[in-house]
Chain A
Amino acid sequence: MSFTTVVFYILSAILLLAAFRVITAKNPVHAALFLVLSFFTASGLWMLLESEFLAISLVLVYVGAVMVLFLFVVMMLDIDIEKLREGFWKNFPLAGTIAIIMAGEMALILGSPEAGLHTYPARAPLSADFSNVRELGVLMYTRYMYATELASVVLLLAIVAAIALTQRQRKDSKAMNVSEQVAVRAVDRVRIVKMAAAPVDTAATDEDQPQA
């Protein structure tokens, strides 16, 4: 077994373990950190395939940006995660059994000699001056231009959907509208009533009474 194969199995084992802990960890912050670990090991797998650009962008985008934001949200919100997952451990034995059976079946099929995985030749190593970024860029903007444009439409849709779902006036919000406050004029707030300094006579008070 070559060195890269050993590294591959170690990274895969860590990846699976981390992914499993993401769904079983009791503390949401721990779950998020395990997700970071699984992204990190996945980028290690890409590195083994000599796809450095994808590996680095996975770390930069997912670990650096998405997960930090996610951790931030998890820490800000006061969610009782145990209450949310009351049914989790009840259903776990059945779901776990099914998952193990499925994984076993898949392993039997793919591991059998008939699957012919051994007939696939090993990947030839890339030359030293091979640029991942250039190859990806060329493919994305020529051959896969249509798919790239569509992916940008998906991103636009995500923006529209996120704004539609989150932007609304909350009834219980006590936030103040700063621009309204700045633009306020004295006449909107204070009503100045001119009245005589002399003691009020009885006829005037009668007039102020609501009419029956």
Chain B
Amino acid sequence: MQKLELIVIGNGMVGHHFLEQLAASPACERFAVTVLGEEQHLAYDRVHLSDYFSGQSAADLALGTAVQYQEWGFELRLGTRAAAIDRAQKTVSLDNGEVLNWDHLVLATGSYPFVPPIPGNDRAGCLVYRTLDDLDQIRAEAEQATTGVVVGGGLLGLEAANALKGLNLDTAVVEFAPRLMPMQVDAEGGALLQDKIESLGVQVLTGRATQRIEDGEASRHRMVFQDDKVLETDLIVFSAGIRPRDELAREAGLDMGERGGVVIDDQCRTSDPSILAIGEVALWNNSIFGLVGPGYQMAKAALDTLTEGERTFAGADMSTKLKLLGVDVGSIGDAHGDQSSGTKLYRYLDGVKQHYRKLVVSADGRRLLGAMLVGDNSYYDTLMQYYSNGLDLPADPESLILPVSEGGAPALGIDALPDTASICSCHNVTKGDITQCIHDGKASLGEVKEATRAATGCGGCAAQLKDVVDHEMAALGMEVSTDICEHFAYSRQELEHLIRVEEIRDFQTLRERYGQGLGCDICKPTVASILASVWNDYVLEDQHVGLQDTNDTFLANMQKDGTFSVVPRVAGGEITPERLIVLGEVARDFNLYTKITGGQRIDLFGAKLNQLPAIWQRLVDAGFETGHAYGKSVRTVKSCVGSTWCRYGVQDSVRLAIDLENRYKGVRAPHKLKFAVSGCTRECAEAQSKDVGVIATERGWNLYVAGNGGMRPRHADLFATDLDTETLIRTIDRFLMFYIRTADRLQRTARWLENLEGGLDYVKDVILHDSLGINADLDAQMARLIEHYQCEWKTTLESPERLKRFRQLINNDQDDPNVVFVEERGQIRPANDTERARLIPSVDI
């Protein structure tokens, strides 16, 4: 069969993409393909052009190789310019006089940088920023220059400014519009962007029209502006927009747009159906698309037009996410909010951090029409998903652009995305494509990228792609194992169930039935904790003692030097003067460092292992109990002074705090638990940062759950309102027990709730409406824990056998001679290395 002659004019990113698609198509064999490229280089990544100045070579930026073109069977003619198209003869004549025949022609000639018609714009040292050759010229000129000016403050202009700055030129940007990036940002955003860029040492002049360029005095050129102000510089780069390379089409008599561009239809056909046009030369619906993503979509549509496929070009989203001179700029959809009426605007401006965000929302408040980001693009991915998938906005859309304390912008769960959600718009890869790819056996981010090409265009979707891949792999049970360790192929929740249902009372039995090996420092403490949560036996029983972490083993908190700290229970933070004096006396007599804790208790530091029993004997004799500061267990219930003393208090918060602490003391859980009770809405006890928080109301108590301070603070959720004390306690009982049963190892309530399927509503259903029918069971389990409470120190002190464990050495009564203290601010502290070297005499071994 005679092959059809197909000529592709232009070998930029879009032309290359077309060829890549064609090569992969079974229809490829129907065509004899010739590729004409004006540049000497094979298609390269123009999006990352500026990387050329930061060490990337032309080869690094190349999108393909000559060998690859050869394998595809395409004739590649670089450094060859098409001079004219003869539509009647169906020929293309080349600049070397050669004439080629074609049956189909694809124009992918791209664009050229627009140089404003300013007298002097053709002076030596006035350059453009578009191709590798341009960059070579800029680099060469920069060697004799100390200053450089970019004319144009748009996307490409700022890229060029970054390049000049990278060449160590004193750089300025001159923009005709009253602000930078006028297409992408509004006045506020532009002002903020300008501040940021100026703070990086790049001078910004906006609202300046250059009248002429002439010889300078101190520098090579002088730019003269409309108000006769001048700016001298050694090097000028024009980057004031692009214009379609449409002269071939124009001379061939194809339909053209008023301001240039070859008119195409949805099939990318020009007015001559045997000639297609794609990329920046093409004008679709009166628009030129100056981004690579839409160009790729045109390439696919053009291929289908040639091969009787179905894809068409239906316009493209111009949303972009950029980092220009290190400054994030993001623009989604109708970012200016001027394309439809009745829109609602939300704006957030942080003048200190220099962040600006804007939402354009439909009149009914349900759809995101556009968004603008300056300074922080971490909000982009989520907003983009709302925009491109038409997802229903939350009732408070502003939450999507307000700062969040929890380490980053609000993320839209991967689950919330439909399969049709576009992840990579450059290569048009959807969430469904990625899911399919993983189902087909691709088992890593790299493999998925290779197979789908996702995140290999502009790269803006890389973070989101990773999220989708991780999520899908987790959903398929790949790599992300929930086994707690190599000894048990079960999650913590499964082990809890086995222990409770099969009434397993010790590690040995569990290991023999469900585990293997000796166990380890992960499964042993986990199982010890579960056993304690279910049975609440004394943790230092022979069968449990080897499972415990050091702190539980010695019922104290080990510090960095191997000494321990001691925290007696001070329920609700209430303490009598007599007891306070005892604490002082014990601390003084044993020379302990004393500090008030965040949980309204007193911590005594610097106890050596063999001192612990004597210290605790004194404390227990004075009526103190262990504070469980060492356990993954209920710690304290912090309280404000409440209605007894406080003129604002509406309930007795101290009484409730003491009752709660005494009820739950010693309850072991997947992680530590902190409570607080506030006597009125002023919330002095900070209950909303606790695992369980209670705030008094006129009519009773409001219960908050799953708050957290620490590394990732979380504001607690309101769980139930105006409870009487009995109902409050019953609700807390069930909440705690449900958490204990279902959480992962070392998972605080905050993270547990966040990761629990169904979230807060689900927990409310279970606890408040008994949707699982387990409440009686939860009540019984809590009753057992409370019934089996013991002060572990009291029990330990009663057993001389157990006390033997509190020796540094079994055959010597001395304490550890390597523990050394020095004094600071009137108390002891561990000696540092230098001090130790001085204080410990070296021993010859």
- Do A and B interact with each other, yes or no? no
Which A positions have Cβ atoms within 8 angstroms of B? none
Which B positions have Cβ atoms within 8 angstroms of A? none
